[in-house]
Amino acid sequence: MPNTLQTTMNWALAYIEGSPLNNFTANEPAVSVGSMICSTILNAPFTWGFNRAENAGLATVAGTQDYTVTLSDFGFLEKVSLGAGSQIFEVKDVYNTVALGISSQQQRPNAVSVIANTAGTSIKLRFMGVPDAVYTATLTYQKLAVQMTATSSTWSGIPDQYSDIYNNLFLAEAFAISDDARAQIYRSRGVAALLAKSEGLTQMQINAFLAQWQARDAQALGAQLRTQQGNQARGL
């Protein structure tokens, strides 16, 4: 049986002296914390073999720039290849959040963007240049992070051997709920495990991700210091 949110909660409870993590409506805050951690691990810039899928059902039409593809599990686009006869070409520039403009110039496409994403249903792709022939497109993408709804929910397909990532990040949030300074320690451990297991990240992507988490730690530390100063001022 794969690890579940309850498995992680059982582990975390020993560290937080049994403080309840799902004592509010719909098992909150545990399920939302678990969902946010899944989203962090499975969203850009991280890509994983266990979360990768391919779709080869799209055929372009000469002179047509936009295409809607039905994909219920689409998270974000990694690669696109175009086949014409025995030749296969990789589309060099792939964009998930940057739109490409409308064009009438026909050529073999060298860029593609996701210009619309109806989560759980379909995506709309735009090629640049406009396809000049019939190409068979193969889309390589990362799957959508499945949100948790109960303590029995699994970790969205993340293998058990990655538990050092999500266990540490979950425990960090459990500590953060009670303004415990140990949140920073376990958040750092989880982030370190995440970066150690990921591949293909540029230094710029790593720095941007670390800056996001470090800013969060700085905010938490600032709040803790303000609380301590307030207690001292009241003689507590």
Model pTM score:
0.86
Q: For the segment 21-47, what is each residue's pLDDT rounded down to a tens digit?
A: 887 788 999 999 999 999 999 999 999
* Distance from C-alpha of 105 to C-alpha of 158, rounded to nearest angstrom: 43
Q: For the segment 70-105, what is each residue's pLDDT rounded down to a tens digit?
A: 999 999 999 999 999 899 999 999 999 999 999 999
**Dihedral of the CA atoms 23, 26, 29, 30 (nearest 10)?**
90
Q: Give the number of residues written for the chain.
A: 236
DSSP state letter for 160:
G
> Band of the pLDDT at 218, cuts 50, 70, 90?
low
Q: Which two tokens stand for residue 172?
A: 């960090």
Phi-psi region of 235 (alpha: psi -120 to 50; beta: other; left: phi over 0): left
Cis peptide before 129 (omega within 30 of 0): yes
